[in-house]
Structure 1
Amino acid sequence: MSERHIVRAISRRSGVLDPSAAGADAGADVRADGRADGRADVAGQFVYLGRQPILDRDGALHGYELLFRAGAHNYAEVGNDAQATAHVVARTIGGIGVPAVLGRHRGFVNIDRALLFNDIVHLMPPERFVLEILETVKFDPQLARRLTELRRAGFEVALDDVSELSDELFAALPYADIVKIDFLLTARDALPGLAAAVRAQGKTLIAEKIETREDFMLARELGFDLFQGYFFARPQVLTAPRNRSLRPGLLRLLGLLSRDAGIVELEAELKLNPGVVVQLLRLVNSSAFGLGRNIASLREAIIAAGTRQIARWAQLLLYADSGDLPWRADPLVHLAGTRSRFMELAASRLRPADDEFADAAFMTGIFSLVHVVVGSTPAAVLEKLGLAPRIREAIVSRGGTLGALLRVAEAAGEGADAASIAAGPDAPPGFAALTPDVLAELNLCAALWFGAHVEEAAA
């Protein structure tokens, strides 16, 4: 259930499930009432996560939809879907922990188009998370290929907020496993035909936004498999203490990863950042790696996760960590995020099969503004971070292919003529493919990824 707008707070209907009982087996050691230790949130001391139960036909708990919460209030304030999802995933895996949030069950996570095409999606163990495709995502051949890849990797895909039969729905059904039908949006006389058509394709049916016993009984009669809504339980808000900003440590860690640092260097850096270590151990112990045992050793965690997975995690945390300012009030976070995403997308467009080049482009964008954060010069900061030479050269002197790409990204971000730089005589081979139309598309995708106009979400 996408919560793109503030939803009205409806008291739980009398009925099947008590929200406190829903999480009884999850082993959560955090409070679920918007407070921790009986105290109200002061100056952003806590982080929040919403979850709403999804039940089977017998009223047993099947899973949870995980929802973004900016505070203890039990409603959503989502200004940017990608950012909200980054917060949800970071808080579930690292901030609170999968066992506390999900117990033995699976979590349904709203996901937009930008995140579907990003490596960050692979941080979620496919056996624990269902990718719930927002209703705003347009279906096309490129999306079909990506969903095929993700399902092949073990993910289940759910289509969210379906309310009518359409050509786009029939085109998307072969690439989905679950369909969530919205009982508030769907006309009652259309429900039988819609449910029958989806069921005929062998898909699992979820009746969402069930608010009355009559709707529940109707959904059961129509053959729905799973059920969700205020009739059963309102979303529950989980709360955990907020760690101090991880951003400085994450930047140093990404610097080491960018130059393929060894385990000894990574271990030494992580030891200086206990907060990042806690996040890493939670990631490795989250069952994403199928180890069947907990890992307590930092070195074991690094080996188990692998540097690429650690880099993905650090990137997600960097996006999700709000630091000392809320996202909307921190222009450097916004600029670094959109620039790095633009460069990653452009690198993938130039060299579709070269993931290493795309990763280096992303890190070049992230580190191109770090000197502003610490109040120094690029050369001085990057020397201390020990960045990979080609990334350092790109930022300090705008040299090499990454330097040229950074110049294009800077111009595109400032509304200048980036296409002229890409087509200029000094541009590397292949850069002419970055035409005005392509650059406009990349700019839009980068803005959507990070949120060109993000509503303030201090969490």
Structure 2
Amino acid sequence: MSERHTAATPVRRIEVRDAFADAAQPGCPAQFVYLGRQPILDRAGALNAYELLFRSGAHNYAEVGDDAQATAQVVAHTLGGIGVPAVLGPHRGFVNIDRALLFNDIVHLMPPECFVLEILETVTFDAPLARRLSELRRVGFQVALDDVSELSDELIEALPYSDIVKIDFLETRRAALPELAATVRGHGKTLLAEKVETREDFSLARELGFDLFQGYFFARPQVLAAPRSRSLRPGLLRLLALLSCDAGIFELEAELKLNPSVVVQLLRLVNSSAFGLGRNIASLREAIIATGTRQIARWAQLLLYANSGDLSWRADPLVQLAGTRSRFMELAANWLRPSDDEFADAAFMTGIFSLVHVVVGSTPRTALEKLGLAPQIREAIVSGGGELGVLLRVAEVAGEGGDAASIAAAPDAPAGFATLTPDVLSELNLSAAAWFGAHVVEAST
């Protein structure tokens, strides 16, 4: 990352919404979400991009305890809390990302044309990472290597899988800079000089052929803020209770009218191109009919995982995990039994409810006691039993980047599961992530 230190610096707060005109009141930081951004300039001095930085409050310095959580909040605040147009405009945003998040499909919540994945220097380069970076670059992401300070074998190995190399001007020996810059440039990569703090460093970087520049010499980070959204969870719980009882359209309409925030999400969902309706839906009753109770139930279940604390539901890792896992299980069930819609529906439900205990802070057994789930779904989650239990285990391991194929091919696995080969599982994972990313991002913009 490009911040030199954590000492407090003067805040330049940008107003991004009319509701923020009066600014945050001292002592009430929970009412707002915060984000830092630092300009990245080109050789002509024009704005090229921003690096997006974690901020827990209006103070202009980072207090990061967990890299993955910090990145998740940066993404959440950019996509949902403040909004991509207000944060980035027409430019790209560089986002710090560690190994765990690289292999987590939260990255697919970010539009590739808007974000650059900035690989932290702590990430070890190996064959799985190379494959993952290749996948992400194929779908349009640019990859930047962060905090490079020496010419190493690992750097040479990683260059084919990157687009931009950020060279740290505070850490790199001046005598080593020419060879380092020439090597990176010789591989056709964009050179970015970071932590440039003096005119001399800027001149040297230009002479060595650097393309982009970032540092305190040009600008310190700015702090952006926006009012925090309220949680949707109470209304969703009531809606799910009605759906579980096969409530009619009039009952659903009456409940939804009491929850404007849920209605907004429903209308955004049904009006998105993901539904392919070719027309906008304005009426609440029309939205219910067009969407169908089955789809409403699925998205209500997914939105239930929204974090009522700091993260927007659109980029909360728990929402992402529940969504991709349930879709993965549905796709896998369709692969195993192409004509069995009931099995696919049960697989989706198993994936969704496999994490509900996290939401309510309980055990799986206790959390599922009063939900009225089908016995095979409850058994799969609580004890891992039955075909759905094995499929859930496959989904869990596949989501963690583990050897899920060995579970599917085990001697005691259900018949047909051996067809879930590594190639099939990889394709299902990517399809699940793409489905979730496309629906959530479109439905929330």
Residue 152 of structure 2: which of 166, 172, 183 is its match? Answer: 166
Find the aligned partners of 2:157 and 2:358 in 1 and give their Cα distance.
43
Residue 81 of structure 1: which of 67, 83, 88 is its match? Answer: 67
The 5 Å alignment of 1:323-342 reads none
Measured after TM superposition, the shift of residue 363 of structure 1 is: 2.7
Find the aligned partners of 1:257 and 1:203 in 2 and give their Cα distance.
53
2:365 maps to 1:366: no
2:105 maps to 1:119: yes
Residue-by-residue CA offset, 1:114-139 (whole Å, 9 max, x unaligned): 22222221111111111111111111
Residue 81 of structure 2: which of 83, 88, 95 is its match? Answer: 95
Find the aligned partners of 1:271 and 1:57 in 2 and give their Cα distance.
54
Larger Rg, first or second structure (1 or 2): 2
Instruction: Please tell me whether the aligned partners of residues 2 and 161 of structure 1 are also in contact (alpha carbons under 8 angstroms).
Output: yes
Find the aligned partners of 1:114 and 1:101 in 2 and give their Cα distance.
25
Residue 380 of structure 2: which of 394, 409, 414 is its match? Answer: 394
Residue in 2 that maps onto 1:16: none
Residue in 2 that maps onto 1:28: 16
Residue in 2 that maps onto 1:415: none
Residue-by-residue CA offset, 1:398-429 (whole Å, 9 max, x unaligned): 5424446779999xxxxxxxxxx999998767
The 5 Å alignment of 1:248-397 reads 248=234, 273-275=259-261, 299=287, 318=305, 321-322=308-309, 362-370=351-359, 372=361, 377-379=366-368, 381-383=370-372, 391-395=377-381
Find the aligned partners of 1:148 and 1:36 in 2 and give their Cα distance.
46
Residue in 1 that maps onto 2:32: 46
Residue in 1 that maps onto 2:427: none
Distance 1:403 1:248, change over 3 A: farther
Amino acid paired to 2:80: G
The 5 Å alignment of 1:431-442 reads none
Distance 1:118 1:379, change over 3 A: closer
Residue in 1 that maps onto 2:56: 70
CA RMSD of aligned residues (A): 5.4
Q: Secondary structure at the match of 2:136?
A: helix
Amino acid paired to 1:366: L
Find the aligned partners of 2:140 and 2:371 in 1 and give their Cα distance.
39
Residue-by-residue CA offset, 1:175-232 (whole Å, 9 max, x unaligned): 1111111111111111111111111111111111111121111111111111111111
Find the aligned partners of 2:347 and 2:170 in 1 and give their Cα distance.
43
Residue in 2 that maps onto 1:234: 220
2:136 maps to 1:137: no
Distance 1:219 1:100, change over 3 A: same
Residue 187 of structure 2: which of 197, 201, 207 is its match? Answer: 201
Instruction: Please tell me whether the aligned partners of residues 35 and 225 of structure 2 are also in contact (alpha carbons under 8 angstroms).
Output: yes
Residue-by-residue CA offset, 1:28-77 (whole Å, 9 max, x unaligned): 33799xx9535224161111111111111121111111111111111112
* TM-score, normalised via structure 2 length: 0.66
Measured after TM superposition, the shift of residue 319 of structure 1 is: 6.8
Range 90-99 or range 237-246, more displaced: 237-246
Instruction: Please tell me whether the aligned partners of residues 112 and 137 of structure 1 are also in contact (alpha carbons under 8 angstroms).
Output: yes
Find the aligned partners of 2:347 and 2:175 in 1 and give their Cα distance.
50
Distance 1:223 1:138, change over 3 A: same
Q: Secondary structure at the match of 1:199?
A: helix
Distance 1:370 1:75, change over 3 A: closer
2:171 maps to 1:181: no
Measured after TM superposition, the shift of residue 322 of structure 1 is: 2.1
Instruction: Please tell me whether the aligned partners of residues 162 and 181 of structure 1 are also in contact (alpha carbons under 8 angstroms).
Output: yes
2:96 maps to 1:107: no
- Which structure 2 residue ranges, 5 or more long, are not aligned? 337-343, 397-406, 419-445
Find the aligned partners of 1:53 and 1:264 in 2 and give their Cα distance.
52
Identity between Structure 1 and Structure 2 (%): 65
Residue 214 of structure 1: which of 186, 200, 209 is its match? Answer: 200
Q: Secondary structure at the match of 1:179?
A: strand
Q: Secondary structure at the match of 2:75?
A: helix
Distance 1:425 1:204, change over 3 A: closer
Find the aligned partners of 1:212 and 1:115 in 2 and give their Cα distance.
34
Which gives a bigger RCO, structure 1 or 2 (Cα 8 Å, sep 6+)?
Answer: 1
Find the aligned partners of 1:282 and 1:231 in 2 and give their Cα distance.
43
Find the aligned partners of 1:156 and 1:288 in 2 and give their Cα distance.
26
Instruction: Please tell me whether the aligned partners of residues 10 and 230 of structure 1 are also in contact (alpha carbons under 8 angstroms).
Output: no
Find the aligned partners of 1:370 and 1:389 in 2 and give their Cα distance.
21
Measured after TM superposition, the shift of residue 343 of structure 1 is: 8.2
* TM-score, normalised via structure 1 length: 0.64
Find the aligned partners of 2:172 and 2:36 in 1 and give their Cα distance.
25
Q: Secondary structure at the match of 2:33?
A: strand
Instruction: Please tell me whether the aligned partners of residues 243 and 275 of structure 1 are also in contact (alpha carbons under 8 angstroms).
Output: no
Instruction: Please tell me whether the aligned partners of residues 329 and 395 of structure 2 are also in contact (alpha carbons under 8 angstroms).
Output: no
Distance 1:108 1:394, change over 3 A: same
Measured after TM superposition, the shift of residue 255 of structure 1 is: 10
Amino acid paired to 1:142: P
Q: Secondary structure at the match of 1:50?
A: strand
Distance 1:249 1:165, change over 3 A: farther
Find the aligned partners of 1:430 and 1:215 in 2 and give their Cα distance.
62
Q: How many residues align?
A: 381
Range 233-242 or range 362-371, more displaced: 362-371
Amino acid paired to 2:114: R
Find the aligned partners of 1:138 and 1:254 in 2 and give their Cα distance.
44
Find the aligned partners of 1:257 and 1:145 in 2 and give their Cα distance.
42
The 5 Å alignment of 1:408-419 reads none
Q: Secondary structure at the match of 1:205?
A: strand
